[in-house]
Amino acid sequence: MPVPPIPDPDASAAPTPGPGPTPPPSPAPLPTGPAVPSPTATPDPDGLHRPEWLHTRPLEIGPDGWALPQDTPAELVDRRIPTIDLLPPPADDGFVATVDAVPDDVVARSTWTEECPVGLDELRYVTVSFWGFDDRHHTGELIVNASWAEEIVDVFRQLHAIRYPIEEMRIVSAAELEGPPTGDGNDTTAFVCRPVRGSSTWSQHAYGLAVDINPFVNPYQRGERILPELAGAYLDRDHVRPGMLAEGHVAVAAFDALGWGWGGRWNSLIDWMHFSANGR
């Protein structure tokens, strides 16, 4: 018997919202393993290691069309991977941020098309400083909804101040959504033009109204479904490791102050990475 689709991390137990923009036609599950650009950064710092196989091993797909969870590889049980600098790192240890219209070259490497539920004028290209697992300062990028751009910058300002570690923060490309899942991604991101997984309704990410932070160390779980699929070791929230989110964390408090919801409080499923403007 076919297994019913598993709701997306955006889909909590809250009531279904009213009618909105016409959603995309395809409800197919979307891959979770990113196709990371080739490294252009400094070598790995002492004591840290980036597995050569990262993002290169497609997962087996189950009869329901979803990639099957697998045991967490030993190298990722206590995940501390150095950041690849895709943007120039900040000149010093101060927090630096920019908020601009989304440049054409960024649009070209994003998932935005004219079929998305928001126009480019409703989005902003944001860069922020962040602290890496490699104990170095880096520059990350996000596309977010224009109405929340400054507030999201302030959230990452607070995280930078406490040196909360983030592995990577970069724009998701269309190629990543179309490629096979590898289950080992850890990209902190916001706008991704896609439907809710297993549904035809637009995700909050498609409006730039959701942020996922360190998804591998803050995974999604519903029953046996785990996203990313190799992140099962991080379902044990009592085994606290760098980058994990919990009640009382600065990130949770910062989004609470904005009135955003956190998937770590959901009941029918739980999504520790996910924050969204409407709580879904």
DSSP helix/strand/coil, 61: strand
Q: What is the pLDDT of residues 217-257, one digit of tens each?
A: 999 999 999 999 999 999 999 999 999 999 999 999 999 99
Count CB neighbours of 43 within 10 A.
9
The maximal CA–CA distance of the chain, rounded, in angstroms, is 58
Which carries the bigger pLDDT value, residue 200 or residue 118? 118
Range with the poorest average pLDDT among 20-29, 102-111, 123-132: 20-29
Provide φ and ψ at 201, rounded to 5°.
-90, 140
Range with the poorest average pLDDT among 41-45, 71-75, 85-89, 165-169: 41-45
Of these ranges, 1-15, 25-39, 192-206, 256-270, the one predicted with the greatest mean pLDDT is 256-270
What is the pTM assigned to this prediction? 0.85
